[in-house]
Amino acid sequence: RFYAHHRKPPLLGFFHHSSKQIVFTPVLAPLDRITPGRFSLGHYSNQVLLDSRHGRVLVKDLQLGEVVVCDPITSKYHR
């Protein structure tokens, strides 16, 4: 529905590694900005950020040897 009206969804921010955790950094103007904690993946020093697209984040769990798809909006993980 959003796509039909606006065509291209806005870039809310990006994920990156910082101090042994994967963090979200917002890029919108301060009034529209989403707080970094809203899309937090938690503090997992055994995960490596692989990619993020279409609202999902792909990480590798080094301890379990699995690739996990994270949905930061719903806080769900799909193994």
Task: Give the pLDDT of residue 8.
Answer: 73
* Amino acid identity for residue 61 in this structure: D
The pair of three-digit structure tokens given for residue 36, joined into one six-digit string: 């970094």
The pair of three-digit structure tokens given for residue 23, joined into one six-digit string: 């963090």
Element (H, E) at 4: helix 2-6
- Cα–Cα distance for residue pair 16/44, rounded to 1 Å: 13
pTM confidence score? 0.70
Tens digits of residue pLDDT in 3-60: 677 677 777 888 888 777 888 888 878 777 777 777 767 655 688 889 988 888 899 9
- Cα–Cα distance for residue pair 17/49, rounded to 1 Å: 7
**Number of neighbouring beta carbons within 10 Å of residue 23:** 18
